[in-house]
Structure 1
Amino acid sequence: MIHYARIYSFYNSLALKLLRIGIFIWLLALIYSSLSFKFSLTTSSSNIPILFLSIFLMWEIFFRFKVIRISPLVLVKDNDGSNIYNSFTLEALSIFTKSVSSIDIIKTLLHKPTIIFILQKAGFMEKDMHLIEISKGSMANLAFENCRNINSKYVTTMDIFAAYVLLTEDRSQLMFNKELKKEELINILYWAKNTNLQEENNSPLQIAFEGEGMGEGWVTGWTLETSKHVTDITKDALSKKPMFLGREEQYREAIEALSRNKSVLLVGEPGSGRRSLVNALAFESFTGRIKGSLYHQRFYQVLVDSLLAGIQNQGQLEERLNNIVSEIAHSGNVIVFIPNFENILGSSTFNTDLSGALIPYMEKGIIKIIASITPGSYGKFVEPKHSLASVFEIIKLEEPDKDSAFRMLLRKTPEIEKNSKIAISYKAIVSVSNLAGKYLQDRVMPGDGVRLLEDTANAVLLSGRKIIEAQDVTDKVEAKSKIAVGAPKEEERNLLLHLENELSKYVVGQKDAVFGVSEALRRLRTGLNDKEKPISFLFLGPTGVGKTRTAKALSSIYFKGENKMIRFDMSEYSTEESVRRFLGGLTGANGITDAVREHPFSLILLDEFEKSSPKIIDLFLQVLDDGRLTDNMSRTVSFTDTIIIATSNAASEYIREEVVKKKAVDDNFQKNLLEILQEKGVFRPELLNRFDGIIVFKPLGKEEVLQIVGLMLDDLSRKLLEKDISVNFDEKITEKIAKEGFDEQFGARPLARFIQNNIEDLLAQKMLKEEIRRGNKVFVSANDANIITVAVS
């Protein structure tokens, strides 16, 4: 191989290239001159230059289509490391043989299109490259190891360049300055090698005929009736070569099952690659790469709405179905694809079950069907019907792991770039990988990532730009999901840093609660929280001490309105029958999953949580642990971007009694409180341990009550100021409200009612009598007889 590399290097040197061009021009000139002087073509004077030109062209053809297409001797995976150069491509090895130093190698590589691709995707500029001398051997060894780690066939020039960047990073800081890690450069290398395949797959030229031969379709039966109710998906598959990276095992299982005349049921969530796998089968079958009974098959997708159109009764439907099955069976080269298989199994969409009519044909292998269905629908419609499940080969497509899904995105990116005519940066793909789950909650990777990338490309194209950056992806996700996923901007940073001060304007006497909630929100927005679960709190304390008020204040200040809060009175969900209604996914009932699906970035308030049905509390064991909940329609909803606050009045008497005794509300106090809750069977230990914080709200003292009254009166003043009426309240009226409106059992809640009945009603009457008008100044107080007085000026 080393000899071929030297020949390749010598033959592609500048001097020899110029010499070859000169020889070609000289031979053409000789032939032209011979013809110009009208020498006979049979004479020796014209035959000689033609002979040499023929020899020259044959050598050039031989060199181009044989020599430079020679594959390395050993695949990387089969190389034991004793001679790693046996796994180098001819181009990579030739650069090593002709270059004296590593700097010479890099200077040569920087002008190659494949290396320019890596530079662009990594955000490197050629001027950023620091030419640092290192050992050629260490470059070769690291390039070989990187290839082995990403399961490449051979070591290419791209691997050599990536190895150089990694080995010089300590001195160049090139990746550090671009905020790239080693793993990310390896991903860019993987991307480059799968986009620029020629060097690694430069095998000898072979002639291959793809597709059916002329008239081959005439030997199969016509499908005139079938064509009315199907669409040909082979054409779609041929327009772009489908990929099934990470689905090789499922692909092999599907081929084996169909080869045995057994139908296939693909079970997976939307976005898991079910359709891509079918398209891959259609493509490989049409091109003749699948032999045997799957050679040159036609793949048709059933249009269920067309199939059922005009049908009056079950008899007509079975007659139409029998005609279609007869045509397919006679044709001998049709495989039927039925997406959303539950649609013909009695789901609410079409309310028609065709399984009984299809089972006999599938049992005998008369027709071959590929169907797709979600795991939830599979459990509901297929598993209970043993006769239906038995005629299928069940193939499950689980969501791929993060690394595999990311590499699927990298493989899909060139197609998106080509279609949208927009370049995509590596950081943008990283952003897609991290945020895709928040963009389309009803889909999984890689499908939701591809959709996000395509939608972002369209948005960037409309903006007139030519490259997608990470911020473009963030903006798209935030616009659609209403989830704050980007780094906090200046206004939000300032709010987060001073959130305690803002909350304290609305919540009085509960410093621990205000601090705990503020800290949690800061962790959430800086990415320091557990990303697999929501932030959650249990607020414990007597009625009317600010538990609900704290949640409302947070929703108003941070989530821009109390109406952004998802609130449930859990006393309404205490029975077993109410569990389904609370869960959601039912027609006419707006449960918790429905609310979170619509507002994934929100605050959830569960008032009087201890009154919930035990089954609902069991559900929250899952929610608080892994951040997911499945509704009645078997759809999984993510709670990872929510803040859950559960309130409870349980053990409020214990809290009140201990505070009266001047006991400090410290860790020991909380430990005793939780023991009481467990002893009384209010909450189980496994639930309490799942909350991020358990906060005790203390009973309100006189000073706190006066502050709350002041806040309530300030609210009333603001309402009247909107009507151009200025209102002031003195200390006498404040103390009167605090004394007469406060109730130790119900806390601050009766205060609002007291103000409403005794002050708002009085002011309303005076406004209707026009005793108070726009522009007036109103002074509210209490006289010596403790009677409320209103002075107007």
Structure 2
Amino acid sequence: MTRFFNVLNRFLAPAAAILAVVALWRLIASIRFSAVRDGWIALSHRQEVIYGISLIALLLWIVVLLGWIHSKRTLGATQGNKIMDILDRLTNRQALEARLQQDANSEIIDATALADALKSKVIGQDHVCDDISAQIRRRLALQQRGKPIGVFLFCGHPGTGKTYLAKQLALQCRRKLLHFDMTQFARGSGGSMLFGTPKGYVGSDSYGKLTAGLRDTPNAIVLLDEFEKAHPDVHTNFLTAWNDGFITEASDGRQISTTRAIFIITTNAGMEALDELQSRLENEAEELRKVSTNVLLENGIAPEVLSRIDRIFIFRRLHGLDVARVTALEIEAMIGSYGLLVREGGIDPEVLWKFMETQEKLAAHGSSRDLVRSIEESIADSLIEQKQAGQTSISLLYKDQKIIAVAGS
């Protein structure tokens, strides 16, 4: 359409301009030399025809000019908006989204199989694995949803498996994980990184990380790690996502659906008090959830946030052999990252004991990241040496106050 108006404007503009000049010149001439009868300028028939044609040409040119301006603005909006979804331009995106939503309304999963898969990877949190698997099964089976599949809050000490469970849940459910470290959004302006920047500000030519992620993968699992450390204004931006089933992209005002997403929030708030409640009310799940809400309120989690949480899960602190199990899994993963295998029974118990002692010293301040860092510092060089020697399978021994990797047998 823009090309059509361009062609018309190219030919009509000069013609209309020439006729307008001729008509104006003839009109001036007629005023100067024509007889004036009864206050009116007497025009010849030929002059009337010229003026009529000129008027029609001018009107037609004005119409074409307005059409050309409108088409240029439309094209400019399409080309200038770099973040426009191609579906908005080439099809009826809303109809396609509605069809997709209709097809995805109900899904039945095997909660027992999901729980077993999670428990095989996440150590010491069997109660959480069972509960969240049952919750997800019930919510996925719903025919109609106007909110996310679930908004779950994971509470507990660092290193208890909160983040790891979210990652394993995404893996087992075959959903993309959108992972956000909320400590990066301690300022109110940090929300623009998640939800986009309004027009007129720097950065408004691209979507926010969260809105873009849910636009492209609406059934993602959204992990909001250490949520309590984000600015309250950032918290507020999530309320419509959890309550109304959409979030708004600030750059273009588009509403992004959250009805197929699962939100998982982790927090370390109120750890000691929650530990005490966990041990005292272990067999009273409903009472535990009720009183844990009060603890979280006292530790800075806003009531409007808690009111939108579907389920609160309290992670137990790991003790004894559970710490050893987590350590063994992390060591196996570290060895695998160097392209090596650990032979069966190849980790000296003394190795695990030393790492357990290190974690015990860190107590509540220790996290899984600290454990991974400690393992890497202790065994990485020895693993590299075995790799260079052409080994594929190794064992770990504790010898002369240090951990060494040796060729497996």
| TM-score, structure 1 normalization | 0.39
- Correspondence 1:510 to 2:122: no
- Correspondence 1:732 to 2:347: no
**Aligned-pair CA distance for 1:724:** 6.8
Which residue does 2:247 correspond to in 1?
A: 629
| Alignment of structure 1 residues 442-453 onto 2, 5 Å | 447-448=92-93
2 CA distance for matches of 1:676 and 1:789? 45
Which residue does 1:761 correspond to in 2?
A: 381
**Aligned-pair CA distance for 1:691:** 1.2
User: Structure 1: any 5+ residue segments left out of the alignment?
Assistant: 1-227, 232-302, 310-315, 317-321, 352-438, 454-472
Which structure's relative contact order is higher, taking Cα pairs within 8 Å and 6+ residues apart? 2
Which residue does 1:592 correspond to in 2?
A: 210
Q: Secondary structure at the match of 2:266?
A: strand
**Aligned-pair CA distance for 1:740:** 2.5
Which residue does 2:280 correspond to in 1?
A: 663
Q: Secondary structure at the match of 1:577?
A: helix
Which residue does 2:152 correspond to in 1?
A: 537
1 CA distance for matches of 2:351 and 2:120? 21
CA 1:535–1:452 in 2, change beyond 3 Å: closer, same or farther?
Answer: closer
1 CA distance for matches of 2:298 and 2:271? 15
Which residue identity lines up with residue 594 of structure 1 in the other structure? A
Which residue does 1:640 correspond to in 2?
A: 259
**Aligned-pair CA distance for 1:705:** 0.6
Q: Among residues 142, 147, 150, which one is paired with 1:527 in the alignment?
A: 142
2 CA distance for matches of 1:441 and 1:613? 34
CA 1:705–1:339 in 2, change beyond 3 Å: closer, same or farther?
Answer: farther
Which residue identity lines up with residue 230 of structure 2 in the other structure? S
The 8 Å contact of residues 342 and 395 in structure 2, kept in 1 or not, is answered as no
- Correspondence 1:568 to 2:186: no
Which residue identity lines up with residue 596 of structure 1 in the other structure? L
2 CA distance for matches of 1:581 and 1:639? 18
- Correspondence 1:326 to 2:67: no
Provide the aligned C-alpha RMSD in A: 4.3
**Aligned-pair CA distance for 1:596:** 0.8
Q: Among residues 168, 183, 206, which one is paired with 1:553 in the alignment?
A: 168
Q: Deviations over 1:229-255 (max 9, x none)?
A: 576xxxxxxxxxxxxxxxxxxxxxxxx
The 8 Å contact of residues 512 and 695 in structure 1, kept in 2 or not, is answered as no
Which residue does 1:135 correspond to in 2?
A: none
The 8 Å contact of residues 229 and 307 in structure 1, kept in 2 or not, is answered as no
The 8 Å contact of residues 394 and 406 in structure 2, kept in 1 or not, is answered as yes
1 CA distance for matches of 2:87 and 2:147? 14
CA 1:574–1:442 in 2, change beyond 3 Å: closer, same or farther?
Answer: farther
| Alignment of structure 1 residues 119-518 onto 2, 5 Å | 326-327=59-60, 343=74, 349=79, 447-448=92-93, 477=100, 485=104, 493=109, 496-518=111-133
2 CA distance for matches of 1:323 and 1:571? 67
1 CA distance for matches of 2:378 and 2:123? 23
The 8 Å contact of residues 196 and 208 in structure 2, kept in 1 or not, is answered as yes
**Aligned-pair CA distance for 1:706:** 1.3
1 CA distance for matches of 2:196 and 2:8? 32
Q: Secondary structure at the match of 1:530?
A: coil
Q: Among residues 733, 752, 759, which one is paired with 2:372 in the alignment?
A: 752
The 8 Å contact of residues 190 and 234 in structure 2, kept in 1 or not, is answered as no
1 CA distance for matches of 2:163 and 2:126? 15
- Correspondence 1:698 to 2:310: no
Q: Among residues 169, 173, 192, which one is paired with 1:580 in the alignment?
A: 192
Which residue does 1:166 correspond to in 2?
A: none
Number of residue pairs aligned between Structure 1 and Structure 2: 350
Which residue identity lines up with residue 271 of structure 2 in the other structure? S
CA 1:508–1:596 in 2, change beyond 3 Å: closer, same or farther?
Answer: same
**Aligned-pair CA distance for 1:324:** 9.0
The 8 Å contact of residues 600 and 639 in structure 1, kept in 2 or not, is answered as yes
**Aligned-pair CA distance for 1:527:** 3.1
Q: Among residues 209, 229, 234, which one is paired with 1:616 in the alignment?
A: 234
Q: Which structure: larger Rg?
A: 1
The 8 Å contact of residues 195 and 209 in structure 2, kept in 1 or not, is answered as yes
**Aligned-pair CA distance for 1:584:** 2.1
Which residue identity lines up with residue 699 of structure 1 in the other structure? R
Q: Secondary structure at the match of 2:263?
A: strand
**Aligned-pair CA distance for 1:590:** 3.8
CA 1:535–1:757 in 2, change beyond 3 Å: closer, same or farther?
Answer: same
Q: Secondary structure at the match of 2:253?
A: coil
**Aligned-pair CA distance for 1:605:** 0.7
CA 1:639–1:502 in 2, change beyond 3 Å: closer, same or farther?
Answer: same
**Aligned-pair CA distance for 1:723:** 4.9
The 8 Å contact of residues 185 and 231 in structure 2, kept in 1 or not, is answered as yes
Which residue does 1:781 correspond to in 2?
A: 397
CA 1:579–1:731 in 2, change beyond 3 Å: closer, same or farther?
Answer: same
Which residue does 1:679 correspond to in 2?
A: 298
1 CA distance for matches of 2:321 and 2:72? 66
Identity in percent: 23
The 8 Å contact of residues 196 and 249 in structure 2, kept in 1 or not, is answered as yes
CA 1:323–1:535 in 2, change beyond 3 Å: closer, same or farther?
Answer: farther
2 CA distance for matches of 1:732 and 1:756? 17
CA 1:658–1:725 in 2, change beyond 3 Å: closer, same or farther?
Answer: closer
Which residue identity lines up with residue 232 of structure 2 in the other structure? P
2 CA distance for matches of 1:765 and 1:589? 46
Which residue identity lines up with residue 301 of structure 2 in the other structure? F
The 8 Å contact of residues 2 and 68 in structure 2, kept in 1 or not, is answered as no
1 CA distance for matches of 2:303 and 2:136? 25
**Aligned-pair CA distance for 1:641:** 0.8
Q: Deviations over 1:302-357 (max 9, x none)?
A: x6x88999xxxxxx9xxxxx9998217789xxx9799899749x969569xxxxxx
Q: Secondary structure at the match of 2:321?
A: helix
CA 1:504–1:340 in 2, change beyond 3 Å: closer, same or farther?
Answer: farther
1 CA distance for matches of 2:207 and 2:268? 28
Which residue identity lines up with residue 753 of structure 1 in the other structure? R
CA 1:516–1:786 in 2, change beyond 3 Å: closer, same or farther?
Answer: same
Q: Secondary structure at the match of 1:556?
A: helix
**Aligned-pair CA distance for 1:484:** 8.2
**Aligned-pair CA distance for 1:689:** 1.8
**Aligned-pair CA distance for 1:551:** 0.8
**Aligned-pair CA distance for 1:700:** 1.6
**Aligned-pair CA distance for 1:752:** 1.3
Which residue does 1:88 correspond to in 2?
A: none
CA 1:449–1:339 in 2, change beyond 3 Å: closer, same or farther?
Answer: farther
1 CA distance for matches of 2:373 and 2:211? 34
2 CA distance for matches of 1:592 and 1:576? 16
2 CA distance for matches of 1:752 and 1:573? 25
Q: Secondary structure at the match of 2:352?
A: helix
| Alignment of structure 1 residues 71-86 onto 2, 5 Å | none
| TM-score, structure 2 normalization | 0.71
**Aligned-pair CA distance for 1:627:** 1.0
Which residue identity lines up with residue 512 of structure 1 in the other structure? H
Q: Secondary structure at the match of 2:355?
A: helix
The 8 Å contact of residues 442 and 636 in structure 1, kept in 2 or not, is answered as no
- Correspondence 1:650 to 2:266: no
CA 1:502–1:766 in 2, change beyond 3 Å: closer, same or farther?
Answer: same
